[in-house]
Structure 1
Amino acid sequence: MINTLVVVAHPDLSSSRINATWCKAIEGLAGVTVNDLYGRYPTGKIDIGAEQKLITAHDRIILQFPMQWYNCTPLLKQWIDDVFAAGWAYGGGRAVAGKTLCIAVSTYSKASDYEKDGRYGRTLDELTSPFEVLAFRVEMLYQPGFFLSGSENLSDESLAVSASRYRQWVAGAQCTYGGRKAQPVTS
């Protein structure tokens, strides 16, 4: 069985609609550990050793976050910078080589905004490509993203469908390597 670590990086999960629903959807999945970064590190001081130990114990790492200003949340960025350290993840270290990196991203804007001809002129794959490059740099496998856009007008029914799809995706995500990707899952 593949052990999966879901690193949730929502600044206030208690007030979240989408990320909290996704977390609830994966509760009880065998082999899945949820790590709420903002809940665990409210002061922003990350226990690097503990996080590296968590990663070491898992085969697949999913970074789950709401997109903020076309990027991940600040604590997730800090977590990546601190935890994927030289000598451990790269630069003489290979602790994550062969593991899988995945992302699950929610956005406020509607899906059509993230098209070449859309409002932002960039797709979600393009905007999240630094995660793919991170995976490549530290010799991880990369899983195309699970995206949910349009949280502004998302119905309860659509959210329930997304949560069900997310649970299935977490339970059985297929992975690729070195930039070769399958189609991203979009709700």
Structure 2
Amino acid sequence: MFAHAAPQRSRVNRRLVEAARSVPGVELVDLYDTYPDFYIDVAAEQDQLADAGTLVLLHPIQWYGMPALLKEWVDMVLVPGWAYGAGGTALQGKGLWLVTSTGSPAEAYAPGAAHGYPFEAFLPPYRQIAALCGMDWIDPHILHAAHQSSEAALDAHVDAFVARLTALASA
């Protein structure tokens, strides 16, 4: 699940999306391209998720969370009786992997630094989605200071992403 309102401005997420499309067994949904009107085809999304082994949320962190359309997708698709609650077992045992980037360096996520908290402090909503839906939380793949990253660092980040995605897709 890829969510970026302006992918043309993102060198990191754009590279990750291109790489994901080359991995056999991976189906990439670009939310902003698929649903520019924010009208989500819930049945189609749930059908795709039913067949998936892992849900990958690929997006930049924006104001300490997910982009608006991804939040709408979560609200509309991961509903009680399907994703959680009584009879909601559709996602149990599947993986949830956050692949994200930030504009700030890692050291900006600390007490007394620009963001005041460790980056981990901004992950509870994602962890809770996994927990509530009975999914397995997979440690996030994060690139901090995305705008300032060298090409070598970006290459290494993309290579590590592809290796892990390939392993997840073939599991």
Mark yes or no: TM-score above 0.5: yes
**How far apart, CA to CA, are the structure 2 residues paired with 1:124 and 1:37?**
25
Q: Which amino acid aligns with 1:137?
A: L
Whether 2:148 is the aligned partner of 1:148: answer no
Higher relative contact order (CA 8 A, sep 6+): 2
Root-mean-square deviation (CA, aligned residues, Å) is 1.3
- Match for residue 34 of structure 1 among 28, 32, 39: 28
Counterparts of 1:105 and 1:123 in 2: how far apart (Å)? 15
5+ long unaligned stretches in structure 1: 1-6, 174-187
Extract unaligned runs of 5+ from structure 2: none
1:166 equivalent in alignment to 2:164: no
Tell which deviates more after alignment, 22-31 or 61-70. Answer: 22-31
Distance 2:27 2:120 in 1: 25
Cα deviation code 1:57-91 (max 9, x no counterpart): 10100101101101110000110011001111112
User: Offset at 1:46?
Assistant: 0.6
Offset, 1:15 = 2.9
Equivalent position SS for 2:27: strand
Amino acid of the residue matched to residue 150 of structure 1? Answer: A
Which of 64, 72, 76 matches 1:78?
A: 72
Task: Give the drift of 1:31.
Answer: 1.3
Matched letter for residue 53 of structure 1: D
Q: CA deviation at 1:49?
A: 0.5
* Residues in 2 aligned to 1:148 and 1:89: alpha-carbon distance in whole angstroms: 29
Partner SS, residue 144 of structure 1? strand
Q: Offset of 1:137 from its aligned partner?
A: 0.8
- Please give the residue correspondences for 1:37-186 in structure 2 after superposition, counting only pairs within 5 Å: 37-92=31-86, 93-172=88-167
Going from structure 1 to structure 2, the CA distance change for 1:85 and 1:100 (only over 3 Å counts) comes to same
Q: Is the 8 A contact 1:125 1:145 kept in 2?
A: no
Structure 1: distance between partners of 2:125 and 2:47: 24
Q: TM-score scaled by structure 2?
A: 0.92
Aligned mate of 1:16, from 4, 10, 20: 10
Q: What SS does the corresponding residue of 1:8 show, helix, strand or coil?
A: coil
**Does structure 2 conserve the Cα–Cα contact (< 8 Å) formed by 1:99 and 1:140?**
yes
Q: Which moved more, 1:84-93 or 1:47-56?
A: 84-93
Greater helix fraction, Structure 1 or Structure 2: 2
Aligned-pair CA distance for 1:144: 1.3
How far apart, in 1, do the equivalents of 2:25 and 2:82 lie? 24
Q: Which has the higher strand share?
A: 1
Offset at 1:117?
4.7
Contact 1:56 1:96 in 2 (8 A): yes
Deviation track 1:113-142 (CA, whole Å, cap 9, x = no partner) reads 123453212222220121111111111111
